[in-house]
């Protein structure tokens, strides 16, 4: 703790507890993405070996974020500041011998070749068996004459003195940078998915970045179609463990099964939760014939029918913004297509074009778009991920020539999508930005499919 306090006093940084922080300033939301440079943090002693993981985490988070442009480190000056005392504001005086930016002035970063709007600096240390990272963000605008006026924030990040702690601290520092530009942190969110890596299809869960993968169910049977409640506390899925497909709901807090009454049917599946996490809609053959949509409470009580189309109705997804309408996949016009209707099953409208097969709809958090899998567009015949503006029904294709791509699910930040991609013999879980850029593979072992992004617990 002595290192922590002395560094605070020396650097003029508020002496904060691990759970606190100080944001000193507001960034104007100017048009266009801000260009951000963050040189590598360094450390001494026991913290030194962890800085590589910390730096990689920060760089990956900023590179994959659609709200900023992360400037490649190959463009940075050779002399990299680690703390405010090593920085100078204002424009350097003209000198015939000055040929290469030294890196000690903010203008060394705002002018070419770096051309950054913002500069992040910091360093790591070990204090009483913990990793402590000191991080700052500065505006690099050359018109700011004093360093204090350029500081956006200065914070302390305390974590465990191991790689997991370095990753955690890196995520939090990157999240604080992104928050200045309207970006939401994905730290704390999780992804549930199906994996056969243990020999049978089971439900697994992992952190948003692919770390911490662990098995949630152990039925030794087909367990599939996971979804999660908006409050991040429950995951629902279908399992064939009893011989027929039945819905089960687990608590993500305890990992234990919650009570749910399944109607006697050959199919109970495809759960979607209402925005308040108290009720569900799912697909069932409880009345015989083709699967239809039904509603109930999260314990299975209050069961009631919603659709009666005579065609298969599956994959319902309730609009997370309104809670008043839903989309589903229906065979009422022949091949599977995506339809929209009220929560009561009225005002039915087909959204997809009617050509090819359109499946796996997923609402964006703002309720304005859906992502879905479609066999049309570029590379017809193979499933690819598309995004539709629901009001105009205009579509944008996000994947092509990358195998079979299905089951998109939006991240809570509304700027990332997770999906399954089969490239070759195995299917794996990938993420990408909502514009199709920044594709990144999360899983490696076995076949992995049907991902669903889970909110952080509220």
Q: What pLDDT, on the 0 to 100 scale, is given for residue 19?
A: 33
410 falls within a domain = yes
Average pLDDT over residues 343-355: 96
DSSP letter, residue 45: G
Structure tokens at 282: 């799912």
Q: DSSP assignment of 433-458, as one string?
A: ETTS-S-EE---SS-EEEEEEEPPP-
pLDDT digits over 35-83, tens only?
A: 999 999 999 999 999 999 999 999 988 988 888 999 999 999 988 999 9
- Contacts (Cβ under 8 Å, ≥6 apart) of 74: none
**420 shares its domain with 348:** yes
Q: Is residue 184 part of a domain?
A: no
CB 222 within 8 A of CB 215: no
Tell me, yes or no, whether 417 and 329 share the same domain. Answer: yes
Question: Does any domain span residue 299?
Answer: yes
pLDDT of residue 1: 41
Give the DSSP H/E element, type plus range, for residue 178: helix 163-179
- Which of 297, 342, 302 minimizes the C-alpha distance to 322? 342
Q: How far is Cα of residue 38 from the mean position of the Cα atoms in its chain?
A: 22
The answer to whether residue 396 scores a pLDDT higher than 70 is yes
157, 179, 201 - which closes a domain: 179
Alpha carbon separation from 331 to 170, 292, 328, 372, 383 (Å, rounded):
47, 11, 10, 16, 17
The enclosing H or E element of 53 equals: helix 51-63
For residues 11 and 117, membership in a common domain is answered with yes
Report how far residue 55's alpha carbon sits from residue 105's, in angstroms, rounded to the nearest whole number.
22
Asked if the model's pLDDT at residue 317 lies above 90, the reply is yes
Give the model's pLDDT for residue 81.
92
Say yes or no: 430 and 296 in one domain: yes
Is the distance from CB of 105 to CB of 119 less than 8 angstroms?
no
In a domain, 38, yes or no: yes
Domain identity same for 262 and 157: no
For residue range 365-388, what is the model confidence (pLDDT) as tens digits?
999 999 999 998 878 889 999 999
For position 36, which CATH number holds?
A: 3.40.50.10070
Give the SS3 label for residue 207: strand
In a domain, 23, yes or no: yes
Q: Are 141 and 129 a contacting pair, CB within 8 Å?
A: no
304-305 vs 292-297, strand pairing mode:
antiparallel
Do both 169 and 203 map to the same domain? no
> 434: domain CATH number?
2.120.10.30
Residue 4 clears pLDDT 80, i.e. is over it? no
The CA distance from 124 to 121, in Å, is 11
* Same-domain status, 357 and 226: yes
84-137 pLDDT per residue, tens: 999 887 665 555 455 556 788 888 898 899 999 999 999 999 999 999 999 999
Q: Which of 151, 179, 207 is the last residue of a domain?
A: 179
What confidence category does residue 3 fall into, taking pLDDT thresholds of 50, 70 and 90?
Answer: very low
Indicate the pLDDT class of residue 147, thresholds 50, 70 and 90.
confident
Q: Are residues 31 and 112 in the same domain?
A: yes
- The β-bridge partners of 151 are 138
Handedness of CA 20, 26, 32, 38 (dihedral sign): negative
- Residue 185 covered by a domain: no
Q: Is residue 205 part of a domain?
A: yes
Q: Cα–Cα distance between 376 and 378 in angstroms, integer?
A: 7
Whether 135 and 216 map to the same domain: the answer is no
First to last CA, the chain: 32
Has residue 7 got a pLDDT over 70? no
Cα–Cα distance measured from residue 260 to residue 244, given in angstroms and rounded to the nearest whole number: 15
**Consecutive H or E run containing 372:** strand 369-374
Tally the domains of the chain: 2
C-alpha 448/C-alpha 457 separation (Å) is: 24
pLDDT for residue 13 is more than 50:
no
**In the predicted model, is pLDDT for residue 429 greater than 60?**
yes
Provide the pLDDT confidence category of residue 324 given band limits of 50, 70 and 90. Answer: very high
The single residue listed with the structure tokens 């009580």 is 301
Q: What was the pLDDT predicted at 260?
A: 96
Rounded Cα distance, 246 and 223, in Å = 9
Q: How far is CA 88 from the centre of its chain?
A: 37
Confidence of residue 312 (pLDDT cuts 50, 70, 90): very high
The Cα angle at residue 151 between residues 189 and 161, in degrees rounded to 5: 45
Is 90 within a domain?
A: yes
Residues 154, 297 within the same domain: no
Q: What's CA 158's distance to the chain center, in Å?
A: 23
End-of-domain residue from the set 179, 201, 231? 179
**Structural domain range at position 203:** 190-454
Q: Do 94 and 242 share a domain, yes or no?
A: no
Are 436 and 430 in contact, with CB atoms under 8 Å apart?
A: no
Task: Name, in order, each residue with C-beta under 8 angstroms of 281's C-beta and a sequence gap of 6 or more.
Answer: 271, 272, 274, 293, 294, 295, 306, 316, 318, 326, 343
Strand partners, 297: 279
For residues 250-255, give the mean pLDDT. 89
Same domain? 62 vs 160: yes
Would you place residue 262 in the very low, low, confident or very high pLDDT band (cuts 50, 70, 90)?
Answer: very high
């Amino acid at each position: 703790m002595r290192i922590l306090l002395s560094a605070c006093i020396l650097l003029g940084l508020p002496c904060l507890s691990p759970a606190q922080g100080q944001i000193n300033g507001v960034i104007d939301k100017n048009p266009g993405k801000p260009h951000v440079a963050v040189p590598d943090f360094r450390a001494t002693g026991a913290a030194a070996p962890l800085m590589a993981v910390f730096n990689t985490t920060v760089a990956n988070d900023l590179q994959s974020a659609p709200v900023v442009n992360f400037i490649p480190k190959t463009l940075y000056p050779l002399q990299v500041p680690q703390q405010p005392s090593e920085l100078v504001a204002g424009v350097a005086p003209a000198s015939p011998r000055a040929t290469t930016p030294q890196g000690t002035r903010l203008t060394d970063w705002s002018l070419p070749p770096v051309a950054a709007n913002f500069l992040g600096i910091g360093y790591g240390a070990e204090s009483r068996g913990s990793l402590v990272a000191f991080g700052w963000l500065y505006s690099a605008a050359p018109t700011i004459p004093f360093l204090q006026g350029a500081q956006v924030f200065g914070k302390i990040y305390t974590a465990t003195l191991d790689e997991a702690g370095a990753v955690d601290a890196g995520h939090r520092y990157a999240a604080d940078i992104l928050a200045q530009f309207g970006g939401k942190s994905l730290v704390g969110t999780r992804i549930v998915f199906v994996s056969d890596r243990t020999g049978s299809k089971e439900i697994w869960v992992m952190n948003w970045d692919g770390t911490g993968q662990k098995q949630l169910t152990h039925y030794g049977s087909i367990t599939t179609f996971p979804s999660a409640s908006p409050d991040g506390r429950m995951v629902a899925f279908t399992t064939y463990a009893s011989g027929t497909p039945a819905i089960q709901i687990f608590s993500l807090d305890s990992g234990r099964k919650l009570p749910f009454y399944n109607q006697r049917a050959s199919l109970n599946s495809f759960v979607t939760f209402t925005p308040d996490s108290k009720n569900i809609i799912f697909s069932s053959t409880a009345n015989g014939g083709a699967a239809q949509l039904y509603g109930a409470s999260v314990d299975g009580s209050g069961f009631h029918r919603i659709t009666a189309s005579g065609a298969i109705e599956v994959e319902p997804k309730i609009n997370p913004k309104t809670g008043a309408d839903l989309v589903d996949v229906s065979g009422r016009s022949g091949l599977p297509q995506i339809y929209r209707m009220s929560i009561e099953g009225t005002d039915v409208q087909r959204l997809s074009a009617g050509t090819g097969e359109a499946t796996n709809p997923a609402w964006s958090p703002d309720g304005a778009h859906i992502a879905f899998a479609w066999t049309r567009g570029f590379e017809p015949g193979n499933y690819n991920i598309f995004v539709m503006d629901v009001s105009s029904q205009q579509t944008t294709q996000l994947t092509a020539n990358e195998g079979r791509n299905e089951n998109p699910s939006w991240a809570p930040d509304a700027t990332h999508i997770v999906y399954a991609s089969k490239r070759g013999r195995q299917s794996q879980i990938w993420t990408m930005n909502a514009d199709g850029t920044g594709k990144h593979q999360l899983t490696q072992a076995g076949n992995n499919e049907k991902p669903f992004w889970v909110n952080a617990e509220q």
